[in-house]
């Protein structure tokens, strides 16, 4: 018996079959639409067509005859607003349904459904208006209209006028005036001169500090912690920017599905402005799996479980495990394994400090070395500003390593110190800004009684070439050096420098780039330099391609000598999702090692850097 074919959809893309409608339409009514923009130019015509939902949804039926009329009336309002946005204050929009003007239709229309109901939209754009007289009054009387792009003879678009009023109020609020408000905004069009007279009046209100901060909506998260972590302290000058930052800060905790912060409509008797923080808690427990793939190093799978509010103050606990090199080897002893547990306490000791403690075990098998490690680490991160964070901690690592120097065991105590400056506009898919880091770690290897220190620096920058962020240039430069240890083997291989793989020079195997001894065994180095450059090109709103080139060198000396630079190049595919881009990269080594990898395919989540 024949059956209906099913559709398969993933991440919003129908891979085969016919996608089903999201919502069934009650009493569906089909229609056709004719759109005429009169003497409008191409740009305005395109804008108006995109504004009209009847045009954009022409293939979708509406619900009932009245639903069609309601949609038409909504389109008329939208089109008039669009004309005003383009300074066309004399424009006329006429819409007929089944040959009858909207205003002449009965309250409950009924159309013949033998054929789709004809709809006609006709727009007469009218002339372009310019600004005439501009008056700022009230507490805005002393302000210069030109600073708000309100210039006589200039653009009279409605959005520009709206933004000017909003900007004036925002500036007053930024002066710690929480009750600043727009009292009037009058726009009068003169159709004889095709000019618009604008009058904007504001009331600034008094300067006020922050008063009491109330918390609503909390269930298991401590209200006192929310208040403390927001850093909206009573007596502090009121600032809309501080409110925005507090909201962002609370959202980043991961325990709230929504956060809103509002000031009261009037001051308290002491002259302060009360604030209200309303939160909605999300699910605190979570679990999941992740996967990566490299044609050189095989597939990897990760599983994790976590709790975001362990003791009521947004403390997080995460337990995770991973297996790697699946498909690369069938011998379980040669696979990679890792397991760990991490505890994070935000607001530790200070509202701007975060404590992290972890213990992790791993077995790593690479072409350069095999290592079994256990690492315990405790660190405290402190936010110096919105962009700058410093970190300091202690770390103890036991390692059993087989490498070019044979089998050696190490017990290393370290003091990792770090600084990060992050100005990126988006952590998952940046288009502007940069992130720079500096890491220093003095270490003492206890078994061999060896002091050594590592110094690493990295900077990544991003630049969009267009307003739609369809073309983004991204670059990264990393440098590192090791000092100390009489012999290279005195330093654990896991702390020497290697390069290659999806996180550094694509096209080469993981940690394939290294100095080699006379036996052809990779030894790792004391210094490295890496550079990557990508052009991220958006083909659609969700799909992009990324041509890239990576280069790197690892040297035996304390400073890179650039005598052996390895370069990989390729192209990647990106699919944007709410949790970050899905990434698929294909790369080739341009000067590969003898017997080394010929190409690499990498799949994962997130941009490469």
Query: What pLDDT is stored for residue 21 in this prediction?
Result: 46
Q: Which residue has the tokens 């041509």?
A: 547
Ordered mean pLDDT values, 10 residues apiece, the chain (609 residues): 38 43 75 95 95 94 95 96 96 96 93 95 96 95 93 94 95 96 95 96 96 96 96 95 95 95 95 97 91 78 95 96 86 89 96 97 91 97 95 98 95 98 93 97 96 98 94 97 94 95 90 93 96 96 96 96 96 90 94 90 87
Q: Read off the DSSP letter of residue 176.
A: T
Sign of torsion over alpha carbons 444, 445, 451, 453: negative
Q: Which residue has the tokens 């052009």?
A: 535
Contacts by 254-258, CB closer than 8 A, 24 or more apart? 254/282, 254/308, 254/314, 254/316, 255/221, 255/281, 255/282, 255/284, 255/308, 255/309, 255/314, 256/221, 256/280, 256/281, 256/282, 257/281, 257/282
DSSP-derived pairing of the beta strands 195-203 and 13-16? unpaired
pTM: 0.78
| Residue among 281, 213, 190, 273 nearest 239 (CA) | 273
Find all residues with CB under 8 Å of 492, minimum gap 6, and list them.
Answer: 371, 397, 399, 401, 408, 410, 412, 445
Query: What pLDDT is stored for residue 590 in this prediction?
Result: 95
For the chain, which domains are there? 23-124 (3.10.20.310), 130-203 (3.10.20.310), 210-281 (3.10.20.310), 366-605 (2.40.160.50)
Q: How far apart, in whole angstroms, are the C-alpha atoms of residue 405 and residue 249?
A: 48
Q: How far apart, in whole angstroms, are the C-alpha atoms of residue 302 and residue 321?
A: 6
Q: How far apart, in whole angstroms, are the C-alpha atoms of residue 260 and residue 217?
A: 10
Q: How far apart, in whole angstroms, are the C-alpha atoms of residue 345 and residue 285?
A: 16
H helix or E strand, kind and range, residue 164: helix 158-174
DSSP-derived pairing of the beta strands 117-124 and 31-36? parallel
Contact yes or no for 462/536 (Cβ under 8 A): no
Q: How far apart, in whole angstroms, are the C-alpha atoms of residue 493 and residue 119?
A: 74
What token pair was written down for 505? 């020079």
Q: How far apart, in whole angstroms, are the C-alpha atoms of residue 51 and residue 80?
A: 10
Find all residues with CB under 8 Å of 18, minimum gap 6, and list them.
Answer: 5, 7
Alpha-carbon separation of residue 255 from 279, 309, 521 (angstroms): 10, 7, 49
Q: How far apart, in whole angstroms, are the C-alpha atoms of residue 117 and residue 27?
A: 14
The beta strand positions in 264-297, using DSSP E, are 273-281, 285-294
| Residue among 419, 478, 417, 481 nearest 452 (CA) | 481
Q: What are phi and psi of 181, to 5 degrees?
A: -155, 160
Residue 596, SS3? coil
Beta bridge partners of 130: 155, 195
User: What is the phi-psi region of residue 153: left when phi exceeds 0, alpha when psi lies from -120 to 50, beta otherwise?
Assistant: left
H helix or E strand, kind and range, residue 475: strand 471-484
Query: What pLDDT is stored for residue 575 in this prediction?
Result: 95
Q: What is the pLDDT of residues 74-130, one digit of tens each?
A: 999 999 999 999 999 999 999 999 999 999 999 999 999 999 999 999 999 999 999
What token pair was written down for 180? 């600043």
Q: What are phi and psi of 290, to 5 degrees?
A: -140, 165
Q: How far apart, in whole angstroms, are the C-alpha atoms of residue 313 and residue 348?
A: 10
Q: How far apart, in whole angstroms, are the C-alpha atoms of residue 337 and residue 321?
A: 8
Query: What pLDDT is stored for residue 389 in this prediction?
Result: 97
The beta strand positions in 128-269, using DSSP E, are 130-138, 181-190, 195-203, 210-216, 256-263
Query: What pLDDT is stored for residue 603 in this prediction?
Result: 84
Query: What pLDDT is stored for residue 7 in this prediction?
Result: 40
**Rg, C-alpha atoms of the chain:** 31
Contact yes or no for 266/179 (Cβ under 8 A): yes
Query: What pLDDT is stored for residue 296 in this prediction?
Result: 73
Contact yes or no for 208/180 (Cβ under 8 A): no
Where does 233-364 have alpha helices with state H?
Answer: 240-251
Contact yes or no for 578/591 (Cβ under 8 A): no
Q: What are phi and psi of 12, to 5 degrees?
A: 85, 5
Q: What is the pLDDT of residues 491-537, one digit of tens each?
A: 999 999 999 988 899 999 888 999 999 999 999 999 999 999 999 99
Virtual CA dihedral for 386, 390, 393, 398, nearest 10 degrees? 100
């Amino acid at each position: 018996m024949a059956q209906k074919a099913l559709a398969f959809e993933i991440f919003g893309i129908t891979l085969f079959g016919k996608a089903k409608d999201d919502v069934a339409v009650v009493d569906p009514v089909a229609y056709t639409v004719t759109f005429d923009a009169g003497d409008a130019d191409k740009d305005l015509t395109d804008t108006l067509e995109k504004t009209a939902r009847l045009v954009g949804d022409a293939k979708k039926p509406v619900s009932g005859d009245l639903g069609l009329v309601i949609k038409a009336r909504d389109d008329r309002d939208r089109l008039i607003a669009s004309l005003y946005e383009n300074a066309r204050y004399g424009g006329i929009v006429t819409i007929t349904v089944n040959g009858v003007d909207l205003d002449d239709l009965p309250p409950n229309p009924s159309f013949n459904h033998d054929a789709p109901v004809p709809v006609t939209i006709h727009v007469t754009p009218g002339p372009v208006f310019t600004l005439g007289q501009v008056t700022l009054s009230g507490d805005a009387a002393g302000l210069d209209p030109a600073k708000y792009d309100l210039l006589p003879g200039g653009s009279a678009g409605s959005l520009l006028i709206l933004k000017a009023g909003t900007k004036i109020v925002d500036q007053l609020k930024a002066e710690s005036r929480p009750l600043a408000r727009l009292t009037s905004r009058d726009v009068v069009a003169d159709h004889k001169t095709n000019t618009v007279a604008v009058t904007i009046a504001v009331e600034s209100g008094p300067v006020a500090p922050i008063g009491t901060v109330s918390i609503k909506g909390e269930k298991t998260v401590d209200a006192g912690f929310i208040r403390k972590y927001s850093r909206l302290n009573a007596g502090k000058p009121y600032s809309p920017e501080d409110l925005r930052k507090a909201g962002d800060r609370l959202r980043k905790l991961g325990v709230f599905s929504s956060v809103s912060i509002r000031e009261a409509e009037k001051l308290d008797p002491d002259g302060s402005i009360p604030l209200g923080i309303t939160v909605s808690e999300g699910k605190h427990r979570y679990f999941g799996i992740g996967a990566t793939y490299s044609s050189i190093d095989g597939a990897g799978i990760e599983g994790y479980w976590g709790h975001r509010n362990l003791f009521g103050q947004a403390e997080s606990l995460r337990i995770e495990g991973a297996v790697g090199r699946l498909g690369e080897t069938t011998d379980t002893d040669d696979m990679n394994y890792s397991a760990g547990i991490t505890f994070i306490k935000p607001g530790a000791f200070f509202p701007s400090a975060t404590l992290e403690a972890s213990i992790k075990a791993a077995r790593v098998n690479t072409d350069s070395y095999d290592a079994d490690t256990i690492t315990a680490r405790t660190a405290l991160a402190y936010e110096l500003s919105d962009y700058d964070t410093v970190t300091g901690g202690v770390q103890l690592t036991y390692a059993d390593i087989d490498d070019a120097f044979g089998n050696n065991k190490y017990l290393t105590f370290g003091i990792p110190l770090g600084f990060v400056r992050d100005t990126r506009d988006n952590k998952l898919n940046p288009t502007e800004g940069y992130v720079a880091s500096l890491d220093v770690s003095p270490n003492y290897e206890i078994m061999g009684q060896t002091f050594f220190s590592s110094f690493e620096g990295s900077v990544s920058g991003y630049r969009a070439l267009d307003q739609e962020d369809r073309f983004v240039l991204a670059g990264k430069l990393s440098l590192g050096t090791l000092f100390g240890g009489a012999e290279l083997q005195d330093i654990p291989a896991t702390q020497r420098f290697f390069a290659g793989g999806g996180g550094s020079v694509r096209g080469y195997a993981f940690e394939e780039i290294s100095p080699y001894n006379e036996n052809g065994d990779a030894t790792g180095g004391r210094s490295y330099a890496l550079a990557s450059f990508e052009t991220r090109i958006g083909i659609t709103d969700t799909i992009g391609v990324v041509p890239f080139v990576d280069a790197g060198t690892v040297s035996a000396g304390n400073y890179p000598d650039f005598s052996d630079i390895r370069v990989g190049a390729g192209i990647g595919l990106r699919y944007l999702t709410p949790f970050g881009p899905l990434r698929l990269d294909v790369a080739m080594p341009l000067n590969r090692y003898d017997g080394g990898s010929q190409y690499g395919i990498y799949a994962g989540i997130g941009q490469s850097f």
